[in-house]
Structure 1
Amino acid sequence: MAAPDSYADSPFTDAIDTVALPKGFSVPEMTLFEVTTDLCDHVSQYKQKMMVTIATGVSKEACMCKGFGSTLSGAALQWFVSLPNKSISPFVDLVNAFNQQFASSRRILKQPSDLHRIVQEIGESIKDYVTIFNRKKVAIRGCDTSTAINAFRQGLDKDSDLYKKLTMHPCERFEEVQQRATAALRLEEDIFCPEKER
């Protein structure tokens, strides 16, 4: 294990450690990871920011590895500096070690079946329902079209015209559901928010 006061020690193998970073390279600003932060969000955000920062021809692996520590704070930073000397080579090893250490900080992933819990509340507009449904659907990995369509329809107010149309004329693609919802939303806005006469 690396001694915290040893400047010569590095958690990275020589293949990473000996690569010089480009002059002027800096890690993009982002919220520092603390134990209470969702680790998957942190890693995803880091990857996205670095993807647009690292120039062509530069060792992406070295930049990804060497920059990661500067996005950590508190106990997470202490964990990073205490990684065993020369123990990390590709970035994926660093992410795996990070995930293992801070597994309790991982947000529980939603399942496609969770979409069936989203229902249009009494008095809730189609716009609000669609916004909430879409936000939650995007957060679910691997959600199949059939499940999304059925959950959307079943969550609607059973007396609404949109529910009736989706039941009588089922859609095969979720994009079709969104198109019908957009049409219903326009109608709803025309009825409840008519333009003022000029």
Structure 2
Amino acid sequence: MSLFTNEIEWTNPPRRFTIPHFTPYKRDEDPDRHLKHYRSTMILYKNNDALICKIFATNLQGEAQDWFHTLPPQSIRSFNELSFVFTKEYSSNRSIKMTSDHLFSIVKDPWETIHDYVKRFKAEKAKIVGCNEDITTVAFRNGLPTEHPLFGKLIMEKN
């Protein structure tokens, strides 16, 4: 017996439908990111909830595919429901969303060159979606030792 309701199970794909190429979900990735990728790939079929449900199973791999088949029969009535149980199951794999405040934890090590500090700081900043530029500037300056020439220059430019 299918884990989908009869309404979903009995829905046929549109004529000439071909399954788009997906990056399969392997269980150790961020489920939110995977759902975002899946939804954007299936955007042309967003009004066909049954199709979206049925195709989702084809882009799971390994243990994620095994988990999918453990769902109770006729327990999935919509893609929103399927998305919920999927993200609930794999919530421990979610990426931790960092804020601009994270940058205050980045401090130039005494042995580190300014070039390496800038490179490391930029790499961390790139991980933050919608990073606040004012906080970035202050965090960068605060990560420098007060005796570093660049620190003094940044203080002077501020005024």
TM-score by length of 2: 0.70
Gaps in structure 1 of 5+ consecutive residues:
1-5, 172-198
Whole-angstrom CA distance in 2 between matches of 1:67 and 1:134: 39
Whole-angstrom CA distance in 2 between matches of 1:45 and 1:38: 11
Equivalent AA in structure 2 for residue 88 of structure 1: R
| Distance change >3 Å, CA 61–CA 155, structure 1 → 2 | farther
Shift of 1:150: 1.5
Whole-angstrom CA distance in 1 between matches of 2:80 and 2:117: 38
| Distance change >3 Å, CA 34–CA 43, structure 1 → 2 | same
Superposed CA deviations along residues 43-73 of structure 1, whole A, max 9, x for unmatched, are 333344x16xx44x77364554333222212
Shift of 1:17: 5.8
Match runs of 1:49-64 below 5 Å: 50=41, 54-55=43-44, 59=47, 61-64=49-52
Equivalent AA in structure 2 for residue 39 of structure 1: P
Whole-angstrom CA distance in 1 between matches of 2:129 and 2:62: 31
**2:35 corresponds to 1:43:** yes
Structure 2 counterpart SS, 1:83: coil
**2:90 corresponds to 1:102:** yes
Alignment partner, residue 56 of structure 2: 68
Whole-angstrom CA distance in 1 between matches of 2:154 and 2:62: 51
Equivalent AA in structure 2 for residue 41 of structure 1: R
**2:7 corresponds to 1:18:** no
Alignment partner, residue 87 of structure 1: 76
Shift of 1:99: 1.3
- Which residue, out of 140, 151, 155, partners 2:128? 140
| Distance change >3 Å, CA 83–CA 168, structure 1 → 2 | same
Match runs of 1:115-194 below 5 Å: 115-121=103-109, 122-126=111-115, 128-141=116-129, 143-156=131-144, 158=146, 159-161=148-150, 163-170=151-158
8 Å CA contact retained: 1:37, 1:105: yes
Whole-angstrom CA distance in 2 between matches of 1:125 and 1:26: 50
8 Å CA contact retained: 2:46, 2:52: no
Structure 1 counterpart SS, 2:122: helix
8 Å CA contact retained: 2:30, 2:94: yes
Superposed CA deviations along residues 118-173 of structure 1, whole A, max 9, x for unmatched, are 223434343x4444333323433564343222212222454143x333322239xx
| Distance change >3 Å, CA 16–CA 59, structure 1 → 2 | farther
Alignment partner, residue 187 of structure 1: none
8 Å CA contact retained: 1:113, 1:147: yes
The structure showing larger relative contact order (alpha-carbon pairs under 8 Å, at least 6 residues apart) is: 2
Whole-angstrom CA distance in 2 between matches of 1:17 and 1:139: 43
% identical aligned pairs: 28
TM-score by length of 1: 0.59
